[in-house]
Amino acid sequence: MQNNKFLKISLVVILVVFLMAGSFGGGFIAGHFTSLGSFNLPGSVISPTSTVDTTAGGTPQDLQTLFKPFWEAWNILHDQYVDQPLDNTALMRGAIKGMMESLGDQHSSYMDPQEYSDANISLSGEYEGIGAWVDTSGDYLKIISPMKGSPAEKAGLQSGDEIRAIDGTDMTGLNPETVRLKVIGPAGSDVHLSISRGGSDQLLEFDITREKITVPSVTGEITSDNIAYVTLTTFGDSTTTDLRNTLKDLMAQKPVGLILDLRNNGGGYLQTAVDVASEFIDNGVILYEQYGDGTKDTYNAEGGGLATNIPMVVLVNEGTASASEIVAGAIQDHGRGKLVGVTTYG
């Protein structure tokens, strides 16, 4: 069971929009869930051709009546469906997917193990694809921002571009997550994208060669004006450590100010957002996570930050999303620094 909560607006290898999640049933649930129990089928072992004894243990007693139609359907499929044997894992995952879709929340969905793996590739810092952050919540797969130096940037993709066709095949009506999986691929392979820009019906055509991309999550330098310039590209596995190491080096040079560049940063882990904000905010609330019943969790600055007093500004743009917006918003709300740029993604 995975208890790490994270925000995700993805990468191509492209990723996905705003997640907070926990693994479940051999896969992954994206939404406002952090820890869910294991999924147990009634009975001990179910062979591909077996039916389920709904009187056996597994389904809690108080849910036996509620789940009776489910197990009846399960048994009917295994007994009467024309193509046997059935894939029980696919049935189980389909049931979870349907359960999530019934919520009517575009930000809550189920990922199977492969989708979960793909969605997290960028946070490890290496991936193969075109290098763009994307939004999968709409009717079409939308580019949030191309990554700096990526094939997507070199080809000329822009924030707000919608992928309407891939290799000549219309993507209308397809789940944007399915479209995302069609865009990713091995380094050296080509993909042709038909793009709608600015809502125009006239499509723009792009041929892009996928690459293997290694992205450092943090870079830093001292400018000629003795300003520490720190760029965050994601909120991934190594971001907290990379940021502290970068700040140690830069602050030792006694800069007179600091610029934190969060432009085109599509986000990452929620806890990493708290860690990053804590390097610049000494104490106080970083964010609240509020649930539908009105309860909320509070995330406070952790203390011990390396740059809590130096004057600073934060650069943002339309590609600044999720975890980046948490950090930028906390810095602004605490009066810790000014935001410079345009309205962020969210």
For every residue of 95-120, DSSP letters joined together read HHHHHHHTT--TT-EEE-HHHHHHHH
Residues 262 and 160 placed together within one structural domain of the fold: no
Domain count, the chain: 2
- State percent of the chain over pLDDT 70: 81
* In contact, 161 and 195? CB cutoff 8 Å: yes
Residue range of the domain that includes 185: 124-214
CA atoms within 13 A on the CB side of 283: 0
Supply the pTM of this predicted model: 0.60
Mean pLDDT score, 305-311: 98
Residue 206 CA to residue 213 CA, distance in Å, equals 19
Give me the CATH number covering residue 173.
Answer: 2.30.42.10
Residue 268 CA to residue 15 CA, distance in Å, equals 10
Q: Which residue, 214, 232, 266, sits at the end of a domain?
A: 214
Give 123's pLDDT tier (boundaries 50, 70, 90): low
Residues 177 and 254 placed together within one structural domain of the fold: no
Residues 224 and 190 placed together within one structural domain of the fold: no
Residues 266 and 292 placed together within one structural domain of the fold: yes
Residue 222 in tokens:
């001292």
- Give whole-number Cα distances, 52 to 56, 77, 85, 169, 209, in Å: 8, 11, 15, 41, 49
Residue 201 lies in a domain: yes
Residue 19 lies in a domain: no
For 8-44, how does the pLDDT look when each residue is reduced to its tens digit (9 = 90+)?
A: 333 333 333 333 332 223 333 333 222 222 222 222 2
Q: Which residue, 192, 214, 236, sits at the end of a domain?
A: 214
